Chain A
Amino acid sequence: MKTVSLILCAVLLLYSAPYVAMQDEVPFPVYVDSDICARLMLGPITTARVDCSVQTHKDGSNPVLVRLDDNTVFDPNKPKLVKDHVGGFGEATGEVKVKSGTMKLKNFKPLDRKDIPEGPSTKLLDVRTYKATGNAQLHEKIRHELAMIAYITTFDFISFTLVGNDVILTGWTVRDTNRSDAEYRVKKIEGVNKVTNNIEILPLGGTDMEIRAAARLALQRNLSTYFWSNGSDIKIIVKNGIVILLGSVRTQQDFDIATIQTNSVSFVFHVFNLLRVTGPEQKEKKG
């Protein structure tokens, strides 16, 4: 009896293994984005998004794949296969690891927008069907939970968007615990349906550590008003020599100082200054 069970188990395993592998490797439609735009422009694939993807990729931001079905971002192991298609669509085949946001890319086939089959994949392509429709109260609850994550530092930035009751988490962190904590906190909020976690864990390379420390020192020295003992209005994201400044400053002058100071840091390959200018000067311009 035991032998029969063992044989049955072995046969089942033999038959199911290739099936499981195949499940992982079913081709799916993707948008080829830059790392920065994929994590900060969470909305539909508009002309502005495409421009952002192309420009930031040209400036050094890595290509990533955005799965159109659910907006999950994957860092492909072979960026060369997709780098010439940034700002375009395609069909990707390979093994995906949702938890780490990585993909072993086996094949990539460029696609025209019109060739993407109608269904969940086209949701991201239409501004009318894909927009932040979540209610303001729920949005505020999520914002509060994410703001209060204890281990967030100047070197982390977690963002989100609310589509109906679904939440897409995004951004960069230097700690595993922030990625899982953010998801846990948002999932337990009443009214939240599905959470897609696109938060990337940043590598702790020696040069990146030097850049982080030097950039913070330079900004803290020149823009001290935006730093306090346990936090800062300016966030410094460093990934393989690329620096992304996020958060807010009050004046255009402070914005410019941030750019100059960060560019003066040794080993910095490129600075993306995405700080928001929130002071009266900016409000007048908008008015």
Chain B
Amino acid sequence: MKRSHHPWKLLTGWLCVILAIAVMTGCSPAAEPKPGVKQIAAGQEFSGFLKDYASLKPNPNLDGEALTYAATDAKQNLRNYFAIIVDPVEVYVATDADVSQVSDEGRIALTNYFQHALIGAVSDAFPVVDTPSPLTLRLRTALVGVDVGGEVAAGDVPADAKPFARALNIGKVGVEMELVDSKTGERIAAMVDKANVGAGAEVGAAQFSRVQKFAAAREAFDEWASRVRMFLDSEHEIKGPEAARTEQSYQPYE
């Protein structure tokens, strides 16, 4: 007698198989990406944080390896904006780094400090605001190439500061950033800065800014932020034939 298969039995069987696969995948630590952590793909020159790298060119106004882009359209260029939203900084871990050793608190410490440094560097020229509006830029930034450092000894940090299990090494970090129109998302300027300003620097505690041992890291972040500002300054410089027109146009009211 031929055995008949009832349709609901078949359905239940398939559901069990799907459920089993889902449970197995969910439990596998290797397959789950660590939230908030991104890693540079092997063999890639850039992180992929910027949508387009083709338009970037070496910038003679910045020493070190800096590639920049700035829109020159009369209606859409940097000079048409004067306020800024500074987005939280993203972190891209080096290709060969063990992602599982990058603690969330370490990643947050880096991004918080760098975001703060960026705000300090640009805010007098671009007032920092919270909400998108016309004439407002959005600054997107990523720290690229963060690596896992050595173990942090208890004596390396003050008694009231909790050391990370493993330090974060920023010796080979570079910065990728872009400025987009806060309303439309259109790209106005971008920069990939590979200047080696963090050589030998590590971060081993959340409050690393007040720990002497991590002074090099602090200086590196401040320097990267100041290079972003230098780029903005150089793009605002009045030069060439436009300088003559600007000067001729300006007449005070008396």
Contacts and interface: CB of A to CB of B under 8 A. Distances in A.
A132 B238 CA distance: 29
A118 B29 CA distance: 86
B83 interface: yes
B124 interface: yes
A72 interface: no
B63 interface: no
A43 to B, nearest CB: 7
A146 B129 contact: no
Given A146-B250, A174-B127, A177-B124, A153 B245 contact: no
A212 B249 contact: no
Nearest to B251: A248
Contacts of A176: 124, 127
Contact of B124 (A175, A204, A247): A175
B242 A228 contact: yes
A150 B237 contact: yes
Contacts of B82: 151, 153, 155, 174-175
A66 interface: no
Contact of A147 (B131, B134, B246): B246
A248 B83 contact: no
B45 interface: no
Contacts of B251: 143, 247-248, 276
Contact of A153 (B73, B80, B127, B134): B80
A15 to B, nearest CB: 37
B77 A229 contact: yes
A161 B133 contact: no
B134 A228 contact: no
Nearest to B126: A175
A150 B238 contact: yes
A214 B183 CA distance: 14
Contact of A210 (B75, B125, B133, B237): B133
Interface residues on A, range: 35 or more
A184 B202 CA distance: 39
Interface in A152-190: 153-155, 158-161, 174-177, 180
A209 interface: yes
Contacts of B127: 174-176, 204
Interface string A208-240: 011011101000100000011111110000000
A231 B129 contact: no
A227 B124 CA distance: 25
Q: Which of B131, B233, B236 has the most CB of A within 10 A?
A: B236
B136 interface: yes
B236 A150 contact: yes
Interface of A: 40-43, 132, 143-144, 146-148, 150-151, 153-155, 158-161, 174-177, 180, 204, 206, 209-210, 212-214, 216, 220, 227-233, 246-248, 274, 276
Given A143-B251, A155-B135, A210-B133, 5 more contacts: A143-B250, A146-B252, A154-B80, A229-B77, A231-B238
Interface of B: 72-75, 77, 79-80, 82-83, 124-127, 129, 131, 133-136, 233, 236-238, 242-243, 245-247, 249-254
6 contacts: A43-B254, A147-B247, A148-B247, A175-B127, A212-B135, A216-B80
Closest 4 CB pairs of A and B: A213-B134, A147-B250, A159-B252, A150-B236
